[in-house]
Amino acid sequence: MSQPVKIKNALVSVYYKDNLEPLIRQLNGFGVTFYSTGGTEKFIRDLGCDVVPVEDLTGYPSILGGRVKTLHPKVFGGILSRRNLAEDKAQAEQYEIPEIDLVIVDLYPFEETVKSRASEEDIIEKIDIGGISLIRAAAKNFSDVVIIASKNDYGSLHTILEESAGSTSLEQRRDFAKKAFNVSSHYDTAIFNYFNQDEELSVFKQSEQKSSVLRYGENPHQKGTFYGDLDAMFTKLNGKELSYNNLVDVDAAVALIDEFDEPTFAILKHTNACGVASRPVLLEAWKDALACDPVSAFGGVLICNQEVDAETASEINKLFFEVLIAPSYSADAVEILTAKKNRIILQRQHVQLPSKQFKTLLNGVVEQDKDSNMEGPELMSPVTERKPTEQELTDLHFANKLVKHTKSNTIVLAKNKVLLASGVGQTSRVDALKQAIEKANSFGFDLKGCVMASDAFFPFPDCVEIAADAGIAMVLQPGGSIKDQLSVDKANEKGIGMVMTGVRHFKH
């Protein structure tokens, strides 16, 4: 079983014919007999190579509008016959079945058809039957058969055959089989997920074909891999490869900036914002975001939602940072920002992001809908005697966007669409508020007249009292505690306002 296998007969039937020609010409030079169907048969013949139509082998034409072409014992017998078994060889000779040593097959573009929003009829027709069967059969019999299930492997096979005079080793065939089963399993997962959009079957299936090996995981002693197509989402203009921690921060940054329409800059460390500001001009947004916490900004991940010009780039260039993300950059900005070779400069492309999130948990996987809710002023219900002003409603909306994307328990303080401070990841909401107040005071921010947002309800009125004593004028919380009225009463007693949204934004 371990001896090299010389290719004598090949079945070739592909949807995509890109870069197929050199391989066909090479196989023809080795004297390989081709069996093929439809458009691929014509392609091979047009290259001046002899080809046997599959119909001539099987004695049956392509039927049912092309749905049945290769599903025949003379095809599958030639692929699945075990060359070392006398019984198989005898049956193959009895029924005049040629041994097929190479199968080159790809699959109808099911995922591409779904993405194109085609009709269900068109989508169903792109569910490949013959192709997937040929791939599985050839991969199963890798002891004797080479399977090429992707155009990405044409070049690899060409190199192998060139180096070994038209033969392949068992190890090489096994490797191609592994790749083929990856293709078939991914294809079946895509089909299942299409049919299970209503999630009636509570089954978890995900498949990503592209991957990037990371320098390491969260820490140097951990291995890390990103599964997905980063190149589709970002054009890297400068810098080293993104690390595991970079990716986690970039994910948090993208989720946060997508909440904003007006020019906004955000600075994040360990997935939490340490500086955010919205301004009519991006340069001012950058300056005000940096002023929130210039200490934590060092080594951070920066993101904005407008083109970075040269003036803004010059200001950003004064800070040491890990990653900068923007939808575009002026040519002068690129020249400024790429002067330091290790800093990562990413230009974001428009990519539809998943609506679900999942991660491993205990001995399984947990999945949930993304938190896509955002409660603006129209969904803020005043519950106190003091009602919010228009400016306070604007600031509450701003703070609510931030609190949604900050680690719980969290409190966010904001004023004039600028983050003043936040209390992050505390085991007590009181501690989160005290942390935010202390931090704001340490940078000299005046909290008088600012607003406060909480990711969850107040079980006791202590946070309201502390906030009022610090000068905070208006509070946003989801409500939902059986003791909500105590917090409302305390706000009225202290002369500050409160709105409730009815929506909690925990982030763990």
End-to-end CA distance of the chain: 53
Query: Distance between CA 207 and CA 175 in Å, rounded?
Result: 19
Query: Distance between CA 44 and CA 36 in Å, rounded?
Result: 8
69 is catalytic: no
Secondary structure, 3-state, 216-259: CCCCCCCCCEEECCHHHHEEEEECCCCCHHHHHHHHHHHHHHCC
DSSP 450-462: -EEEESS--SSTH
- 147 strand-pairing partners: 103
Catalytic residue among 8, 236, 270, 494: 270
Of 317, 296, 185, nearest in space to 249 by CA: 296
The tokens for 380 are 């803020």
Cβ neighbours of 6 (radius 10 Å)? 15
Q: 423, 441 in Cβ contact below 8 A?
A: no
The alpha helices in 95-215, defined as continuous H runs, are 110-115, 120-125, 130-140, 154-163, 170-195
Catalytic residue among 140, 151, 158, 236: 140
To which H or E segment does residue 404 belong?
helix 390-404
Cβ neighbours of 64 (radius 10 Å)? 7
Q: 418, 288 in Cβ contact below 8 A?
A: yes
Of 238, 279, 272, 231, nearest in space to 255 by CA: 272
Query: Distance between CA 268 and CA 405 in Å, rounded?
Result: 11
- Sign of the C-alpha dihedral computed for residues 361, 366, 368 and 370 taken in this order: positive
115 is catalytic: no
> What amino acid positions are annotated as catalytic residues?
140, 270
